[in-house]
Structure 1
Amino acid sequence: MQSTKEESKKLERLTLMAGTVHTEANKVEEAEPDLKGKKLSWGKLRQFDSFHLEAGRIPNINDHAMKDGWTKTLALAFQSVGVVYGDIGTSPLYVYSSTFTDGIKKKDDILGVLSLILYTLIFIPLIKYVFIVLWANDDGDGGTFALYSLISRHVKISLIPNQQAEDAMLSNYKLETPSRKLKRAQWIKHKLESSKMLQVVLFLFTILATSMIIGDGVLTPAISVLSAVSGIKVKAASLLQGQIALISIVILVLLFSVQRFGTDKVGYAFAPIIVLWFTLIGGIGLYNLVKYDVGVLRAFNPKYIVDYFRRNGKKAWTSLGGIVLCITGTEAMFADLSHFSVRAIQISFSAVVFPAVSLAYIGQASYLTKFPEEVDNTFYKSIPGPLFWPSFIIAIAAAIIASQAMISGAFSIIQQSQGLSCFPRVRVVHTSTEYEGQVYIPEINYTLMVASVLVTGIFRSTTNIGNAYGIAVVSVMLITTALVTLVMLLIWKTSIWWISLFLIVIGGIEAIYLSAVLSKFIKGGFLPLALAFFLMLIMGIWHYVHVKHYNFELENKVSSNYIQELALDRNITRIPGIGLLYSELVQGIPPIFRLFMEKIPSIHSVFVFVSVKRLPISKVEPHERFLFRQLEPREFRLFKCVVRYGYKDAIEAAKDFEKTLIRQLKEFIYHEFLIQEGGSPLQNAPLEDPATEATESNQRRAGSNTIHADETLKAQGSAGNSSGSILPANSNRSANSSGRRVGALIPAIEEEKQYIQKEMEKGVVYLLGETEMVAKPNSSIIKRVVVNNIYHFIRRNFRQGDEAMSIPKARLLKVGVTYEI
């Protein structure tokens, strides 16, 4: 009797929340046109193969914008020093030697170069990144993919047509309808959504920047370690450059070999060393400034930049390829934002990094005014004698930390690329239970190690590697500027004057630097472009075929009539247990299902079509991950399930995944049964109306054991009244009447849940299609080479789908099928 009363109260609460959910539906309807450009209504969603909502809008427990206390912010700022700034902090080791490759001809050139360094640090890391770009984060995540993700939530630029109105209801989605007052944003949005070419160009720019950052995982260890080790020549002049390169290679091999142990608690472990490094270079810079020539502070006058170019002309322009190395690693401030906060990064850079690095360059310039002939190894030669060996050891440690950060960053980016179907499947190992961003990819680690060792062994000098490094650095920055400009236009809706100023000043500076570094193409600059081209080729081809595969299944999906006929076919055998058919198709049943039934005319007692979907957000809260729908006829027990992941989410191991899925399925059956059979006022609305138990369900899944009716009424009633609830005036009486009939439904509900549980205990079987993609016979020769040769080669040499999802071989059934695209 007590159970019946509780169920009655539950049903009453579901009814009271209908008005609020309907209001949310109206918001999505305004924001989301359907695939044909018409307005969606909840009454029509079912025909687009949509789902009831198991998760509504809830407070985001991981809200990055949440205000942290000063104690936590300062702690994060301290940690960020150890993770983010190793690369930019080791740049003083090689900037002057990479700039004055032919020596210093005139002492006034030192002031010109110093002025360029100082203003480059001010305009790019400080103004652009610290005060502008950091705010363009994707709910706390930064980097190129985060920017692309942020834009794709507001504009339908995804090449895979799997958008659902329900996605906008996720707590991390934070979709805002563009203001109709700003026609500019709407016009740009329309252009992007209607132009396939612009969508492809935006995607290519994104993977180009991504490829460049992965390439940094090769170049950063090479140049950082080699420049740090080169300092030993000050005390051991007899060492040859080849021997120094060999020592660097040994360090690099050791560095990459320990990656498998992970970088747990990396912030606290590395921060003291990097803080000591910044203290050291800042202090040495201040010492040199006072000792040799305080007059170099005149470099803050930009007149010296003009004079430098007037004196040297084209030579000054080519020297920018060395000067730009002073901002290597700047992109890490944005890419590693998810581990910290905007305010923490701003404090750490402004208070620690910028002053220390600036003093280091000023001190070296002061030293060079007295000893211009020692430009080849300025940093080490300017160190006071007693501090040399401590500085040498700390420099190597800082170089290793800088390399570690870029290698880990490359792993994270490849994980994101794989999540968005832009990279072949590789084994991703999560090395920390506390820091979910810490991953290790064995195949990529050894590839980066071999490439980094080859670069160090072939180039041997920081000057040649610097030529390559500069192109990678500036290319990524320029693409970030373009994407942030789009964010300003579409999302922030900034004044066109501020946007123009940002694009002209920042973009202009970066364009000039890019032109300079490209002039060194044949002197090593070709390397990052070659690496980027190779990676873009892999990523582009993989995504192209993936999109074609998805569109093929969408065009050939199984009709609902086929399911109805299957249910009536007496020749179909029902097998004990639960079957899970995996696919990525969201809108319908994949054609592989028909092939399964033709080959094996039998189906499990409970069958679930599982669609794994990646969303343009970094993370999906676990209690919002599953969307279910039951296919007709209900007694056939066929379900469609969309499992939603963010681009940083990891797919659980098969054992954990199936337990979660079955638990969520039973909960769905419970609530679906109450709504459809309980005689509530919801039956007066269309069946498609997703007036579900969003708030109560989410709170329960988040850990709340009891939700009182008066609390739910207080939370939901005001929202429903303010928005104009569609419930009839006698909704309370109707709910009570329905509640009296709930008692009769409880046994049937429990019986259905127990049936699911028993079938699970009999075994869960995974079904996958072994899809062979081939180009149509009448395709162009380029398409046939790309699909039939290159794609097949990539696919054969990377992990298969069942391996990536850790599906047990003993419970896996595959059926081969060939798709002509």
Structure 2
Amino acid sequence: MKKPDHVHDVFYRSIPDIIYWPVFVVATAAAVVASQATISATFSLIKQAVALGCFPRVKVMHTSKKYSSHIYIPEINWILMILCVAVTAGFKNQHQIGNACGFAVVIVMLVTTLIMILIMLLVWRCHWILVLIFTVLSLLVEGTYFSAMIFKIHRGGWVPLVIAAAFFISMSVWHYGTMKRHQFELQSKVPIEWILGLGPSLGLVRVPGVGLVYSELANGVPHIFAHFITNLPAIHSVVIFVCVKYIPVYAVPEGERFLVKRVGPKSFHMFHCVARYGYKDLHKRDDEFEKNLFENLFRFMRLESLMDSCMASEVYSPCDQGDSKDDANLPDPHKVTTTFSPNSIVSVVSPEYTVRTMSSSQMISQDEIDELEFLTNIRATGVVHILGKTVMMARRDSEFYKKILIDYIFTFLRKICRENNAIFYCPRECLLNVGQVIIV
């Protein structure tokens, strides 16, 4: 039986003909398993880097309902395929590919040992003698391998170094730019005193409709709102600041998805809403999101009116039945907190309290009825999704390297990563992008 020409290497030439094909099948299967392990590990690392803000946003697809770690990232899968084909076609030499693989393995061993030393010192609090023994024995073996691989850097060993340097630069620049942008947003939040000073009409023309202003801030009014109304003296009759958060749970129940609070007095008709999604929840581009948002907004207004009536009343109403000490500890609907579990999130406000308060229809005031009718009529006129699109630029007097990092590398990464409208799933037919330049 003749062996294929393309597999004539040292390993296969050493195999007897009688067991050649079984060994060939087993070796191929082992290579497939090893490649799948490498791909899965890469997906996990990229997911953690994205969560920490150290890697551009990519699409993460969860493939299991039971295990949150089972993921698939299309962009990274394509990058791995292109790199594998490029290395194989570029070298055309099994020895150079082996040198590249061996050098990468040695580097991983060294990095693992160094991290292990830190864990022994800082986490496990091991005795310094034990740490010293572990360090000497590990580096004695790994240093021997590393010294041997140094002489093979020019014969293929440079490939993992180049790939690692490219990823390191990309991650460092993205983290730096993201942190600078986040610091700008935190420092430039619009103070509530400034909004109150604008008056009931915010000093603008209030046009019919609902404006959903998206931002990454879970609390406070984003700077993009002030930028918008400063350059365009008109805003919608109802403004809702929406923050979409993806939390590390499988699914968020519909009744616990939205957290709503009011911004300013009732005459402003401004609200802040945090929409929470688990990794398996679908945030679709349809009317379901708007429908659920307004349902929770109406529920919040009823609960708010009920609480105001209860606190203003001198005589206990049906919602105040029971011991006064218990009633004094009723939760504030403006400050609803939650706790997290591996599979869901649980609201601190008890369901019995919510049902009991929401069923007291006789406590609904005329102001609440008027505001509910106003919101219903305004919603019918249309909903506009307002999304900020920031552009970062380095200062003119900045160092040369900073201009390269911000104006070119970070800008390039922003262009190739997923845009905000893909993250927030805003419908394009009613999307309004507000541009803003940030100088860092």
- TM-score of the two chains, using structure 2 as the length reference: 0.75
Amino acid at match of 2:3: A
Show the counterpart of 1:622.
252
Q: Distance in 2 between matches of 1:403 and 1:802?
A: 34
SS in 1 for 2:197: helix
For the residue of structure 2 that corresponds to 1:769, the secondary structure is strand
Q: Residue 581 of structure 1: SS of its match in structure 2?
A: strand
State the match for 2:159 in structure 1. Answer: 527
How far apart in 1 are the matches of 2:87 and 2:389? 39
CA distance in 1, matches of 2:143, 2:282: 40
CA distance in 2, matches of 1:700, 1:526: 46
**RMSD in angstroms over aligned alpha carbons?**
4.5
Q: Given residue 193 of structure 2, which amino acid in structure 1 is its aligned partner?
A: N
State the partner residue of 1:806: 425
2:210 and 2:382 in contact (8 A); partners too: yes
Residue of structure 1 equivalent to 2:212: 580
2:35 to 403, 407, 415: 403
> Is the 8 Å Cα contact of residues 675 and 683 (structure 1) preserved in structure 2?
no
Amino acid at match of 2:385: Y
The one-letter code sitting in structure 2 at the alignment partner of 1:652 is H
SS state at 1:785 partner: helix
CA distance in 1, matches of 2:134, 2:332: 47
| Partner amino acid, structure 2, of 1:803 | A
Determine the structure 2 residue equivalent to 1:337. Answer: none
- Candidates 356, 362, 365, aligned match of 1:744: 362
Rounded Cα–Cα distance in structure 1 between residues aligned with 2:300 and 2:432: 27
State the Cα distance separating 1:525 from its structure 2 match. 1.5
> Are the equivalent residues in 1 in contact too, given 2:189–2:223 (CA < 8 A)?
yes
- Give 2:410's aligned amino acid: Y
- Closer, same or farther: CA 451–676 of 1 in aligned 2, 3 Å: same
8 Å Cα contact 2:240-2:270 kept in structure 1:
yes
AA at the equivalent of 2:152: K
- Could you say if the C-alpha distance between residues 693 and 449 of structure 1 is closer, same or farther in structure 2, counting changes exceeding 3 Å? closer
1:504 corresponds to which residue? 135
Instruction: Name the structure with the higher strand share.
Output: 2
Structure 1 residue 534 displacement after superposition: 0.9
| 1:496 to partner: Cα distance | 4.1
Alpha-carbon contact 2:65-2:250 (below 8 Å) kept: no
Q: Does 1:794 align with 2:413?
A: yes
Displacement after TM superposition at 1:472 (Å): 3.0
Structure ranking higher on relative contact order (CA contacts 8 Å, 6+ apart):
1
The 1-side partners of 2:112 and 2:257 are apart by 30
Distance between the aligned counterparts of 1:494 and 1:819, measured in 2?
A: 45
1:500 maps to a residue whose letter is: V
Distance apart, 1:452 and its partner CA: 0.9
SS in 2 for 1:678: helix
Which structure 2 residues correspond to residues 668-747 of structure 1 after superposition, within 5 A? Answer: 668-679=300-311, 692=336, 742-746=360-364
Q: Specify which of 598, 602, 618 is matched with residue 234 of structure 2.
A: 602
The DSSP-based 3-state class of the residue aligned with 2:198 is helix
What is the percentage of aligned positions where both structures have the same residue?
A: 36
Matching residue within 271, 283, 287 for 1:639: 271
Q: Which amino acid aligns with 1:473?
A: V
- Tell me the distance in 2 between the aligned counterparts of 1:782 and 1:440: 35
Residue number in structure 2 paired with 1:815: 434
Asked if 2 retains the 8 angstrom alpha-carbon contact of 1:620 and 1:644, the reply is no
Structure 1 CA distance, aligned partners of 2:101 and 2:125? 33
- Identify if the C-alpha distance between structure 1 residues 479 and 659 changes in structure 2 by more than 3 Å, giving closer, same or farther: farther
Distance change (3 Å), C-alpha of 1:571 and 1:814: same
3-state SS in 2 of match to 1:588: coil
Q: How many residues align?
A: 418
Aligned to 1:236: 3
1:674 to partner: Cα distance = 4.5
Give, as a single letter, the amino acid of the residue that structure 1 aligns with 2:407: N
Matches within 5 A, 1:159-558: 235-236=2-3, 239=5, 243-244=6-7, 376-377=10-11, 381-382=14-15, 386-429=18-61, 437-483=69-115, 494-496=125-127, 500=131, 504=135, 508=139, 510=142, 513-558=145-190
Q: Does 1:764 align with 2:383?
A: yes
1:580 is paired with a residue whose SS is: strand
Distance 2:389 2:162 in 1: 33
2:39 maps to amino acid = I
The 8 Å contact of residues 676 and 683 in structure 1, kept in 2 or not, is answered as no
The separation in 2 between residues aligned to 1:498 and 1:670, in whole angstroms, is 66
CA distance in 1, matches of 2:99, 2:77: 24
Say whether the 8 Å CA contact 2:120–2:131 is kept in structure 1.
no
- Tell me the SS of whatever aligns to 2:220: coil
Q: 1:708 to 1:444 in 2, by over 3 A?
A: closer
The superposition leaves residues 314-347 of structure 1 with CA deviations (integer Å, 9 ceiling, x where unpaired) of xxxxxxxxxxxxxxxxxxxxxxxxxxxxxxxxxx
1:782 matched to 2:416? The reply is: no
Contact 2:389 2:434 in 1 (8 A): yes
Q: Would the alpha carbon gap of residues 668 and 564 (structure 1) be closer, same or farther in structure 2, given more than 3 Å must change?
A: same
3-state SS of the aligned residue for 2:56?
A: coil
Comparing 759-768 with 782-791, which one deviates more in the overlay? 759-768
Aligned AA for 1:447? I
- Structure 2 vs 1, CA of residues 439 and 678 (structure 1 numbering), >3 Å: closer, same or farther? same
Tell me by how many angstroms 1:522 deviates: 1.7
Q: What is the CA-CA distance between 1:401 and the residue it aligns to?
A: 3.5
| Cα separation, 1, equivalents of 2:246 and 2:222 | 17
Q: How far did 1:812 drift?
A: 0.7
| Distance in 1 of aligned mates of 2:245 and 2:344 | 24
Kept in 1, the 8 Å contact 2:214–2:243? The answer is yes
Q: Does 1:559 align with 2:191?
A: yes
**For the residues of structure 2 that align with 1:754 and 1:487, how far apart are their CA atoms?**
61
Give 1:528 deviation, angstroms: 0.9
Pair 1:813–1:507, CA change in 2 (3 A): farther
- What TM-score, normalized to structure 1? 0.43
| Unaligned runs of at least 5 residues, structure 2 | 312-319
Post-superposition CA distance 1:432-485 (Å, at most 9, x none): 667655554444433322221121123334432232223333434544555566
The amino acid of 1:458's aligned partner reads: G
Cα offset, 1:537, TM superposition: 1.5
Distance change >3 Å, CA 502–CA 427, structure 1 → 2 = farther
Return closer, same or farther for 1:670/1:498 CA change in 2, 3 Å cut-off: farther
Call closer, same or farther: CA 1:687–1:603 in 2, change over 3 Å.
farther
Q: Identify the residue that residue 652 of structure 1 maps to in structure 2.
A: 283
1:68-107 maps to which residues of 2 (within 5 A)? none
Distance 1:622 1:759, change over 3 A: farther
In structure 1, the gaps of 5 or more residues are 1-233, 246-374, 713-737
Tell me how far 1:590 sits from its aligned partner. Answer: 1.9
SS of alignment partner, residue 568 of structure 1: coil
Matched letter for residue 96 of structure 2: N
Change (3 A) 1:663 1:480: farther
**Whole-angstrom distance in 2 between the partners of 1:498 and 1:659:** 64
CA 1:499–1:573 in structure 2 vs 1: closer, same or farther (change >3 Å)?
farther
How big is each residue's C-alpha offset from its partner over 1:638-675, in whole Å with a ceiling of 9 and x where there is no partner? Answer: 223345678x7788334365455445545544555554
Q: CA deviation at 1:771?
A: 1.3
Residue 593 of structure 1 aligns to a residue whose secondary structure is: helix
Matched AA of 1:236? K
